[in-house]
A and B are shown apart, each in its own frame.
Chain A
């Protein structure tokens, strides 16, 4: 019984962290058809911002939920203005340029913080269920993921901004024809996407030892979750995070964590071969 509870929590945690990891990338890809390969580095920087803010005396929740997203969002804005905006509509070129950016940020952070592992302790203590130790922080991550999805849904469905955004997603020219500057929309989108990456990196930072190359661990997972999710933003995110989180946890429990990761990647390859348009390209058509 205890074991079942622990497994369920672990599984929810795996799904929630995939949602967090992929949300920023999903927004940028869904709205702008830009694959930001520097996404992992944005997360890594979110982690570093949090740690720096905490060492400077900021409250850890403030640092994670506000400071990190804003700082990384602003970095994203600069990146969008300097690089991305010259490459709209050129999918492969943006991938290459953002890959270059990812290397740039790794180098930059290495120069500033050095190539050593840093970290902070989790602000929420664990507790035991029967014979098992449960990390209390997992619940926080699950909560954040749920709130995040709810918020995205509310914004996209409920506000004027969301309506324009969804319009721009369907037909980029239409938004322009209606008098909304696509340039502005893209800027705002990239800011939001980067901020979400920063948030995810900040929240996951207490769980990992942070090094400048940490981003590499995230980007592939985020990348496949988003691509496998397909055109619908939230439904796709939930479907593919759920599927991949489930599969990786099963293999983690049954074999080993490494096999869990490998199983996730293999599942992604198989899924993309069977449904090249992603899960929501086939099912849940037309949802947000």
Chain B
């Protein structure tokens, strides 16, 4: 724990500061902002899947829920501060309910996948069908497939006319990502985080030690949803519109792909995977030779077949092999995480 504050925190901040300084010289801040937001979204799934062993096919549901919560609250309230907080709390509360339902029912693996996927679909279908004028929350019309445009975007707290946009908005998002990253790092070092990793490794054993596995999984799931919700609110501010596509299965698939490509069981992997693939998609979007979806699909298949651990752990072991320093990397390496099913009594 001591080295965390004296070494890891300063090192993280230093590296992040360098990146925040250098990256805008290479890529425009408008694009960079969305890469940072996707990084946070990937990170949220990376936390619950890579460290808690919870495979959620519906992380997009929390992302969308955060974005919609923000938009609706911002229209009704005007100032962006409370909407931002609500965008974190509402998905977290929703995930706590959903998680409690699933984890106390001892659902695992494929059933977890079905339910999270179905819940995402329900939200998608419901929100898409709210075009009529009867679907109003306060002053905000849900707008069906067209979504909600024209809400109050981020402002300096208490001063609704001082908008934060452009370059400052990029720095705002980047700093939030660093804060979230450090908070999660701290969480993983704490007893709660270690037990969560224990649950990922062997749920039955942890229960037999006397830990309430269902409660702990529910809490972790809810934390992941809170982070996804925050990312959703940031995305809403960036795009200045929210649409049902945020809830789509395609969005969920992408989050999963980011995690696999980046590397599960590492903190940095899903962030790198998200930002990298989103940027690749952005570059590919500028050509029309090969279909974008086709490439995404190929990437996912190839990674599952040939590099199931993902890029970051692979580069890590390559580094270890070539430079031979006896550093344990990654700290919480995932082995046989996916594809293993823990039986229940």
Chain B, residues 284-301, CB within 8 Å of chain A (1/0): the string is 000000111111111111
Q: Which residue of B lies closest to A273 (CB)?
A: B105
In the complex, whether B189 has a CB less than 8 A from a CB of chain A is no
A273 to B104 Cα, complex, angstroms: 9
**Contact: A93 with B114, CB < 8 Å?**
no
Q: Which residue of B lies closest to A278 (CB)?
A: B111
Q: Which of B101, B126, B304, B339 has the most CB of A within 10 A?
A: B304
- Decide: A100 near B293, CB < 8 A? Known: A265-B122, A269-B118: no
**Contact: A273 with B107, CB < 8 Å?**
yes
B157 to chain A minimum Cβ distance, whole angstroms, is: 38
In the complex, whether A272 has a CB less than 8 A from a CB of chain B is yes
Q: Which residue of A lies closest to B254 (CB)?
A: A103
- Decide: A272 near B115, CB < 8 A? Known: A216-B249, A265-B125: yes
In the complex, whether B307 has a CB less than 8 A from a CB of chain A is no
**Contact: A104 with B125, CB < 8 Å?**
no
Partner of A100, one of B106, B107, B125, B300: B300
Task: List residues of chain B with CB within 8 A of the CB of A105.
Answer: 297
- Decide: A95 near B113, CB < 8 A? Known: A258-B125, A265-B122, A273-B101: yes
**Contact: A96 with B304, CB < 8 Å?**
yes
Task: List residues of chain A with CB within 8 A of the CB of B292.
Answer: 107
Chain B, residues 80-111, CB within 8 Å of chain A (1/0): the string is 00000000000000000000011001110111
In the complex, whether B204 has a CB less than 8 A from a CB of chain A is no
- Decide: A35 near B106, CB < 8 A? Known: A107-B295, A108-B291, A261-B125: no
**Contact: A108 with B129, CB < 8 Å?**
no
- Decide: A102 near B114, CB < 8 A? Known: A83-B305, A96-B304: no
**Contact: A103 with B294, CB < 8 Å?**
yes
**Contact: B253 with A103, CB < 8 Å?**
yes
Q: Which residue of B lies closest to A212 (CB)?
A: B293
**Contact: B110 with A100, CB < 8 Å?**
no
In the complex, whether B338 has a CB less than 8 A from a CB of chain A is yes
**Contact: B291 with A220, CB < 8 Å?**
no
Q: Which residue of B lies closest to A270 (CB)?
A: B101
In the complex, whether A285 has a CB less than 8 A from a CB of chain B is no
**Contact: A103 with B300, CB < 8 Å?**
yes
B237-289 CB contacts (< 8 Å) to partner A: 249-250, 253, 256-257, 260
**Contact: A96 with B125, CB < 8 Å?**
no
Task: List residues of chain B with CB within 8 A of the CB of A272.
Answer: 107, 111, 114-115
In the complex, whether B182 has a CB less than 8 A from a CB of chain A is no
Task: List residues of chain A with CB within 8 A of the CB of B250.
Answer: 216
Partner of B293, one of A92, A103, A258, A265: A103
- Decide: A99 near B339, CB < 8 A? Known: A83-B301, A93-B304, A106-B293: no
Q: Which residue of B lies closest to A261 (CB)?
A: B125
A238 to chain B minimum Cβ distance, whole angstroms, is: 19
**Contact: A103 with B296, CB < 8 Å?**
yes
In the complex, whether A87 has a CB less than 8 A from a CB of chain B is yes
Task: List residues of chain B with CB within 8 A of the CB of A276.
Answer: 105-107, 111
Chain B count of residues within 8 A CB distance of the other chain? 45
A218-276 CB contacts (< 8 Å) to partner B: 220, 223-224, 227, 256, 258, 261-262, 265-266, 268-269, 272-273, 276
Partner of B294, one of A90, A104, A227: A104
At the interface, is chain B mostly helix, strand, loop or mixed?
Answer: helix
In the complex, whether B308 has a CB less than 8 A from a CB of chain A is yes
Task: List residues of chain A with CB within 8 A of the CB of B257.
Answer: 100
Task: List residues of chain A with CB within 8 A of the CB of B178.
Answer: none
In the complex, whether A282 has a CB less than 8 A from a CB of chain B is no
In the complex, whether B228 has a CB less than 8 A from a CB of chain A is no
Task: List residues of chain A with CB within 8 A of the CB of B111.
Answer: 227, 272, 276
A265 to B294 Cα, complex, angstroms: 28
Count class of interface residues, chain A:
35 or more
In the complex, whether A110 has a CB less than 8 A from a CB of chain B is yes
Chain B, residues 171-190, CB within 8 Å of chain A (1/0): the string is 00000000000000000000
In the complex, whether B67 has a CB less than 8 A from a CB of chain A is no
In the complex, whether B341 has a CB less than 8 A from a CB of chain A is yes
In the complex, whether A209 has a CB less than 8 A from a CB of chain B is no
**Contact: A99 with B256, CB < 8 Å?**
yes
Q: Which residue of A lies closest to B116 (CB)?
A: A269
A93 to B341 Cα, complex, angstroms: 12
A282 to chain B minimum Cβ distance, whole angstroms, is: 14
**Contact: B117 with A220, CB < 8 Å?**
yes
Task: List residues of chain B with CB within 8 A of the CB of A261.
Answer: 125
**Contact: A87 with B304, CB < 8 Å?**
yes
B106 to chain A minimum Cβ distance, whole angstroms, is: 7
- Decide: A35 near B110, CB < 8 A? Known: A97-B304, A106-B293, A106-B297: yes
**Contact: A100 with B294, CB < 8 Å?**
no
Partner of A110, one of B118, B128, B256, B291: B291
A30 to B325 Cα, complex, angstroms: 48
**Contact: B119 with A99, CB < 8 Å?**
no
Nearest 7 CB-CB pairings of A with B? A107-B294, A100-B300, A103-B297, A104-B297, A90-B339, A107-B291, A100-B301
Apart from the given pairs A83-B301, A107-B290, 15 other A-B contacts in the complex at a CB distance below 8 Å: A35-B110, A92-B113, A99-B256, A100-B298, A101-B301, A103-B300, A107-B291, A107-B294, A108-B294, A220-B118, A220-B121, A227-B110, A258-B125, A258-B129, A266-B122
- List, sorted by A's number, 25 A–B pairs whose CB atoms are closer than 8 Å: A87-B305, A89-B339, A91-B109, A92-B110, A92-B113, A93-B339, A95-B113, A96-B256, A96-B338, A103-B294, A106-B293, A106-B297, A107-B293, A107-B295, A220-B121, A224-B114, A227-B110, A258-B125, A258-B129, A262-B125, A262-B126, A265-B118, A265-B125, A268-B114, A273-B105
